[in-house]
Amino acid sequence: MLEQKPRILTGDTPTGRLHLGHYVGSVENRVAMQDQYDCYFIIANVHAFTSPERMENPAGIRESVLEIATDYLAAGIDPAKSTIFIQSEIPAIAELTFFFAMLIPFNRLMRNPTLNEEIRDKGLGDKYSFGFPMYAVGQCADILAFRPELVPVGEDQLPHLELCREVARRFDIIYNKVDPHTEDKDFVKAGGVFPVIQPKLGRVKRLVGIGAPSPETGQLLKMSKSLNNAIFLSDDPDTIKKKVMSMYTDPNRKKATDPGETDPGKNPLWAFHETFNPDTAWVASTREKYKAGQVGDVECKRKLVDVLVALIDPIRQRRLQYEKDPAEVLKVLKAGTARANAVAEETLRLAKQAMKQDYFPRTLSL
Ligand code: ATP
Ligand code: MG
């Protein structure tokens, strides 16, 4: 039975389609884990409204919800095993967000490095809404509404998950009288409603984008839907070729440092080869030749085009099938959202009970 497996929760903001960063950071893990775990994948549409331009284009957000769901199915997430759902249709998440906001000191939230990185890299300046930092609180609710054991994410999410762990501890200590000295893994056993969740990083913690380094930090930026530096799981071979051939390469090629590391160096080309090229012998020897100036960008880029087309094209082909049938994708979302509500409502009931705000029981239907 699904219910007896340990649960995982993760998801994406519908701000575009899925890219290679999502794939190695999280989606690949999800596909591999769906037999062993009871999987919940949230499409966080409310969080898409945190961007000043996007909030004025709700049709774009709606379209992206379907795009992401289509990408999930194309990448191999099986709706018979996993639950895919839409955040705004889970009222318990919004309700928990409000309660959780009381458990997080405001200044603690504003020191969150991921929020600050987003403010910098997305050029939000001082124009972001109150809802922007609020999304980090909301994400605690997205996760804890499902009381999961593991949360598969990319490295950028770790500060958010730390916040989520703090919220769970504070809630359980205050409202369930869990002893503050309890080990993280034992909070639920000790009577807590919420588990102190564990992040699970993907094979690549932070895939870089195809563009030049940030002028401010000198570091390559992470691949991101919002930064216009992504190769998408839905890109056709021509688009992949154009993107790879125009990919930034460091004029000083000796700086082609190890791309798998947190500091990816200055050359996305090798980050991609190391991450995606199954011919590791070719990568090791050509990389040395490249550093020595014995092989050019174009040859290495051509090879990368072949590697990426081989990975992406089967996904794109499956995607074309789902694209023909958006009604089927919506059906998957509706069934998933109904299943997700059953779990989240139960969590909310337990939380309200612990907080002594359980006045009238309710049932919810779509
Ligand atoms: P946005 O620009 O809208 O923030 P994004 O591309 O950062 O979009 P998210 O929806 O914020 O994508 O992230 C979804 C998941 O994918 C998270 O677990 C995140 O850590 C992971 N992820 C996103 N980009 C990368 C990346 N470049 N490398 C590894 N993991 C990533
Ligand atoms: Mg992001």
Ligand 1 center to 154 CA (angstroms): 7
Starting at the edge strand that comes first in sequence, how are the strands of the sheet with 82-86 ordered?
A: 82-86, 38-43, 7-12, 150-153, 198-201
pLDDT single digits (tens) 299-308 = 999 999 999 9
Q: Which residue has the higher pLDDT, 26 or 56?
A: 56
pLDDT single digits (tens) 321-350 = 999 999 999 999 999 999 999 999 999 999
Which one of the ligands is nearest to 227 CA?
1
Q: Is the CB of 22 under 6 A from ligand 1?
A: yes
- Nearest one of 71, 79, 74, 69 to 45, comparing CA atoms: 69
Please tell me the predicted confidence (pLDDT) of residue 258. 45
Q: Is the CB of 15 under 6 A from ligand 1?
A: yes
Which one of the ligands is nearest to 121 CA?
1
Decide: 17 and 239 in contact? Cβ < 8 Å: no
Ligand 2 center to 224 CA (angstroms): 7
pLDDT single digits (tens) 166-207 = 999 999 999 999 999 999 999 999 999 999 999 999 888 899
Sign of CA dihedral 199, 31, 330, 236: positive
Instruction: Give the residue, by CA position, lying nearest to ligand 1 atom 7.
Output: 224
Q: Which residues pair with 199 in a beta bridge?
A: 151
Q: Is the CB of 154 under 6 A from ligand 1?
A: yes
Please tell me the predicted confidence (pLDDT) of residue 3. 53
Q: Is the CB of 176 under 6 A from ligand 1?
A: no
Sign of CA dihedral 216, 217, 219, 221: negative
Q: Is the CB of 157 under 6 A from ligand 1?
A: yes
Which one of the ligands is nearest to 159 CA?
1
Please tell me the predicted confidence (pLDDT) of residue 52. 86
Ligand 2 center to 249 CA (angstroms): 24
Q: Which residues pair with 208 in a beta bridge?
A: 222
Ligand 1 center to 347 CA (angstroms): 27
Decide: 141 and 162 in contact? Cβ < 8 Å: no
Ligand 1 center to 310 CA (angstroms): 23
Q: What is the DSSP letter of 23?
A: I
Ligand 1 pocket test target in 9, 20, 22 with most atoms within 8 Å of CB: 22
CA distances from 182 to 8, 27, 193, 354, 358 (A): 22, 33, 14, 18, 26
Ligand 2 center to 341 CA (angstroms): 25
Would the pTM count as exceeding 0.75?
yes
